[in-house]
Chain A
């Protein structure tokens, strides 16, 4: 056979010369000499084309895969789960809370929206703290505002937060003090319009990476984030509002929770191999717990709709479920970057299909 790399004999002598031989170039004279020698060696009548030239070594398609001693191809995710996983959750909670607060305001139930305005302010402040902690020093956040760059979800997100944060702050402060009600109302509406973007932009933020279990989910992820955010904000509404007024929050919570369960399950299934981390190790445990909490919260908020305590506990379960959903997604990405399988196998498959 003509492939010395595969028959265990190592490179042929000529191959070894070529690999280890003098730097870079085989001289024209050597090349001519070699061609002549080869010409003389070749049995007459044997067609030139049978010699393997430039072809890939044939091999059974990789059931498993090859790597450099099992080391990852990608560099690990450098973000802390607490910072950036938390950031994903808090941004969602804030954004969807602003939407519900705006809904309450628009239907003349400003009192109903007040706790969610506070929730949004606390959550978005918390997400800013998480981001700054990730960066290391507060003044580093300012560098985010040097450029406006649509190719960078983090740049777009920074500008979004720069617009959204003051609106949320104004809405919360005016609600608490009763000052400038018109400005407060306008700020509430403004925050309600930007809120959905704050809740969903974080999906492109993590999917626009080489991390397999994030990137591959880029179609469904925004819907997972949006529904998870609504479930959390609705849950917060259930915690803060007496049952007889909590109808809108209950509807939002149940709708968000069921949508989240459906879309995230669908996403994990569709991703195939790179969906695997969502069911394994720490990511698997977080994801399963998140789903259990979310389902329990949805069921509890319907069955316990007349009981203040059950409603509040269900709401808390939904908030917790949403947080664990984000941490599970974060962790799945971390795990997928650490194992070269999730990088190599899908790329191999892509090459095979193209060939």
Chain B
């Protein structure tokens, strides 16, 4: 079993590209869609490197895991963690979870499960670390997870520069066509 939970990236592409401000970062550092503001443009769907957020067929708006924004606001743990009978899904402070996960990986590796590894726990990774990370027993892609996700907006400054210079070239080229001899 692997839950297709939102990773709540520290650098979240969905949030960056949202043109309406519907996606926002909460006081818990999670990423949540305000469904009354979402206009269904679908940009976040293509921006997510994990394939998590998606359009709901019936109303065309974007929906995803909120890490139970309503519950954690009331001091409860998210429903998935609460419901899981084996505590496979754990909720808590990230630093403490990282520590606990590291210990668990070491236990597993000592026990001969050499393929055990953590995924998404590194704050230095391409999304600045995920708010929901995993203990995997194989390579991430085997679970349908990208092996080295990078937030797409990391390259956006370069994209704007190229778009700007292409616009200048277009303007110059278009006007240059009118230079010279008149017929």
A-side residues, CB < 8 A to B, are 2-5, 11-12, 14-15, 17-19, 23-26, 31, 34-35, 38, 52-57, 65-68, 71-75, 77-79, 95-96, 99-100, 102-104, 106-107, 109, 134-136, 140-141, 143-144, 146-147, 149-155, 158, 192-193, 195-197, 199-201, 203-204, 207-211, 215, 218-219, 221-223, 225-227, 229-230, 233-234, 244-245, 247-249, 251-252, 255-256, 333, 337, 340, 343-344, 347-348, 350-351
CA distance A219 to B52 in the complex (A): 27
Report B's interface with A, CB cutoff 8 A. Answer: 13, 16-22, 37-43, 45-55, 59-60, 86-88, 90, 100, 103-115, 117, 137-139, 141-149, 152-153, 155-156, 158-160, 162-171, 173-178, 181-183
Within 8 Å CB of B174, what residues of A? 96, 99-100, 102-103, 196, 230, 233, 252
Contact B46 A223 (CB under 8 A): no
Q: A12-B112, A223-B169 are in contact. Are A146 and B49 (CB under 8 A)?
A: no
Which residue of chain A lies nearest to B43 when distances are taken between CB atoms in the complex?
Answer: A154
**A15 in contact with B113 given A78-B46, A222-B163 (CB within 8 Å):** yes
Q: Are B177 and A143 in contact (CB under 8 A)?
A: no
Q: Is the CB of A199 within 8 A of B170?
A: yes
User: Is A152 within 8 A of B18, CB to CB?
Assistant: yes
- Asked if B149 and A200 sit within 8 Å, CB to CB, the answer is no
Q: Are B114 and A55 in contact (CB under 8 A)?
A: yes
For the complex, what is the distance from the CA of A251 to the CA of B181, rounded to whole Å?
Answer: 12
Q: Please give the distance in Å from B137's CB to the nearest CB on chain A.
A: 7
- Cβ-defined contact, A18 with B113, below 8 A: yes
Residue of A nearest to B105 (CB): A54
| Bound complex: CA A96 to CA B38 (Å) | 32
Nearest B residue to A215, CB-CB: B152
Q: A78-B45, A152-B43, A222-B166 given. 17 additional CB < 8 A pairs?
A: A2-B112, A5-B115, A11-B112, A18-B107, A26-B104, A65-B141, A68-B141, A78-B54, A135-B60, A136-B40, A144-B41, A195-B170, A195-B171, A200-B167, A210-B47, A222-B159, A344-B141
Q: How far is the CA of A156 from the CA of B115 in the complex (A)?
A: 45
C-alpha gap A78/B62 in the complex (Å): 11
Q: Please tell me if the beta carbons of A3 and B115 are within 8 angstroms of each other in the complex.
A: yes
Q: Cβ of A79: which chain B residues have Cβ within 8 Å of it?
A: 42, 46
Contact across chains for B166 and A200 when beta carbons are under 8 A apart: yes
Residues of A within 8 A of B111 (CB): 12, 14-15, 17-18, 34
Bound form: Cα–Cα A343–B52 in Å: 15
Q: Are B40 and A225 in contact (CB under 8 A)?
A: no
Give the CA-CA distance A122 to B107 in the complex, in Å.
66
Q: Which of these, A25, A218, A245, A247, contacts B104 with CB under 8 Å?
A: A25
Min Cβ gap B140→A in Å is 9
Query: Chain A residues near B87 (CB, 8 Å)?
Result: 23-24
Tell me whether A15 and B112 are in contact (CB under 8 A).
yes
Q: Are B18 and A210 in contact, CB atoms less than 8 angstroms apart?
A: no
Interface centre among A35, A56, A208, A234 (most CB of B within 10 A): A208
Question: Do A218 and B155 contact each other (CB < 8 Å), given the known contacts A147-B20, A149-B19?
Answer: yes
Chain B nearest CB from A329 CB (Å) reads 14
CB <8 Å contact, A73 and B107: no
User: Which 8 pairs, one residue from A and one from B, show the smallest C-beta to C-beta distance?
Assistant: A68-B144, A222-B166, A196-B167, A99-B174, A140-B39, A18-B111, A155-B19, A154-B19
Cβ of A230 and Cβ of B170 under 8 Å apart? Answer: yes
Given contacts A5-B138, A19-B113, A251-B177, contact A146 B20 (CB under 8 A): yes
Do B166 and A223 touch across chains, with their CB atoms under 8 A apart? yes
Question: B45 touches which one: A54, A68, A77, A155 (CB < 8 A)?
Answer: A77
Whether A152 touches B178, Cβ cut-off 8 Å, given contacts A14-B111, A210-B48, is no
Identify B41's interface contact among A66, A154, A192, A249, CB under 8 A: A154
